[in-house]
Amino acid sequence: MKRYIWIGMTALFLMTAMAGCGKKEETVQTETTQAETTETSEEETTQEESRPEETTQEAAERYHMLRGTVTEESQDGSRFSLLADTGVTYEISLDQIRDVEEEIEPEVQIAIAYIGEELESQEDLDQVDLVVVFPEQEEWTICQETGTTLFNAMSSFTMKTDQGHELQLLKDNCPIEDGALSQDSGDRVTVIYVTSQGLNFPIEILKAGSQNDEG
């Protein structure tokens, strides 16, 4: 009889210990899940705060990227043929482009940021402003930011956006609205730009109203 009681007590002790271990493991998993959720939320918040303003529908219709492959270059290098990804071939003169950030030669893939209605044919080239040629990359995003300039140099400037982060941009020959960058600092501007190889290139720089006016 004592032997049965001892066996029963031993079984009861083992069951209690196993239940305790299971409860502890569940608590650890719950705490880990909560920590991961908090970390993810913080990362999403940081990314959301640093995200550029979304371009308006009007801006989306005004700013574009012409992407394609150079198929031919003139002997003096002043003109080239571009087979666009749309299948249309464009004959382009370097005089038509404000800034060239990539060497133009056959078989090179390039992208050209331009202002105007979306190109569909050679005749449309006369109606657009070809701003800058870039080396091709997998994806292009046309961004828009509004803010106040902190520093304005000959070929670059730095602005503090209305979201509170600093943005450095080059401005070689890009279109600048009169009065948009008239001071060494303190100008309110709206910048439409793209990023290539880690550098920000404006497609156009416009004057912006004060934050109070915009609010």
Domain ranges across the chain: 57-135, 143-214
pLDDT of residue 215: 52
Domains 57-135 and 143-214 fall in the same CATH topology: yes
**18 or 175, which is more confident?**
175
Beta bridge partner(s), residue 81: 72, 91
Determine the average pLDDT of the residues in 35-45.
Answer: 46
Contact 125/92 with Cβ under 8 angstroms?
yes
What is the CATH code for 143-214? Answer: 2.40.50.320
Torsion over CA: 81, 82, 88, 92 (sign): negative
Which of the four pLDDT bands, split at 50, 70 and 90, describes residue 105? very high
**112 or 7, which is more confident?**
112
Q: What are phi and psi of 208, to 5 degrees?
A: -130, 155
Pairing of strands 188-196, 199-207: antiparallel
Report domain 57-135's class.
mainly beta
Mean pLDDT value across the chain: 82
Determine the average pLDDT of the residues in 132-155.
Answer: 96
Helix, strand, coil in percent for the chain, rounding step 5: 30, 40, 30
pLDDT of residue 170: 96
Which of the four pLDDT bands, split at 50, 70 and 90, describes residue 83? very high
pTM for the structure as a whole: 0.74
pLDDT of residue 209: 84
Cβ neighbourhood burial of 129 (10 Å; 0-12, 13-18, 19+):
middle
pLDDT of residue 17: 45
Share of the chain above pLDDT 70, in %: 72
Which of the four pLDDT bands, split at 50, 70 and 90, describes residue 51? low
* Per-residue pLDDT at 26 exceeds 50: no
* Per-residue pLDDT at 200 exceeds 60: yes
